[in-house]
């Protein structure tokens, strides 16, 4: 099963959404955790509707705006998400271009390399700040019932992001330190 499909169903399991909503959720809210384009969202929604995993709940029309096609998950869709969520699968392989660049660090001038690492560090610091803000925002939200469980799940995931970015930043710092020692002078 394709991963976008899983992502869409996971979002729709929480609330009815339009294709546009989904794109926003993925690119802004949880992004840059997962990015998708309209080309993936709309055709996949159509395919899932055909297969009965989602259903068109209705079409909203606000003034002049283009019509919003709201989709909701069906029972079959919910079952599919639950099945996938509980089924066991191998760990995804981690893949990052920048690690490959670090693997090539012996090839290039340390000073040049340090520049690149600093830049990367900065980018991850920004992500870290964004995730931390998001955790704070979600944590301060008082809620009960099913929503509390949803919040708990969301926070767990973003918490992972926070730690991941922290680890990345620390690793960059140490790499810079090590490369500095190698520098002539």
CA distance 144 to 179: 50
Q: How many CA atoms lie within 13 A of 163 on its CB side?
A: 6
Q: Which does 100 bind (CB under 5 to 8 A by kind): a second copy, DNA, none?
A: a second copy
CA distance 92 to 95: 9
Single residue of 50, 65, 66, 106 touching a second copy by CB under 8 A: 106
Q: Structure tokens of 119?
A: 């830049």
Single residue of 29, 32, 38, 153 touching DNA by CB under 7 A: 38
Of the pair 66, 142, the CB lying nearest DNA is at 66
Integer-rounded Cα radius of gyration of the chain: 21
Torsion of CA 5, 1, 157, 136, to 10 degrees: 0
Single residue of 50, 66, 103, 181 touching DNA by CB under 7 A: 66
Q: Which residues bind a second copy (CB under 8 A)?
A: 3, 6-7, 10, 13, 31-35, 78, 81-82, 84-86, 88-108, 112-113, 115-116, 119-120, 123-124, 127, 146, 149-150, 152-154, 156-157, 159-161, 163-164, 167, 170-171, 175, 178, 182
């Amino acid at each position: 099963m394709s991963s976008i499909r899983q992502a869409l169903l996971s979002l729709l399991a929480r609330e009815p959404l339009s294709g546009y909503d989904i794109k926003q959720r993925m690119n802004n809210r949880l992004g840059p955790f997962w990015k998708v384009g309209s080309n993936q969202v709309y055709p996949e929604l159509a395919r899932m509707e055909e297969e009965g995993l989602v259903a068109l709940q209705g079409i909203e029309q606000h003034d002049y705006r283009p019509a919003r096609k709201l989709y909701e998950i069906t029972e079959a869709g919910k079952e599919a998400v639950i099945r996938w969520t509980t089924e066991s699968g191998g760990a995804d392989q981690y893949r990052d271009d920048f690690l490959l660049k670090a693997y090539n660090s012996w090839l290039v001038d340390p000073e040049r390399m340090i520049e690149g690492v600093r830049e990367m560090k900065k980018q991850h610091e920004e992500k870290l700040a964004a995730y931390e803000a998001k955790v704070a925002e979600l944590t301060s939200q008082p809620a009960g019932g099913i929503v509390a469980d949803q919040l708990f799940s969301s926070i767990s995931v973003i918490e992972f992001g926070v730690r991941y970015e922290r680890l990345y930043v620390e690793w960059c710092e140490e790499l810079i330190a090590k490369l500095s020692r190698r520098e002539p002078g």
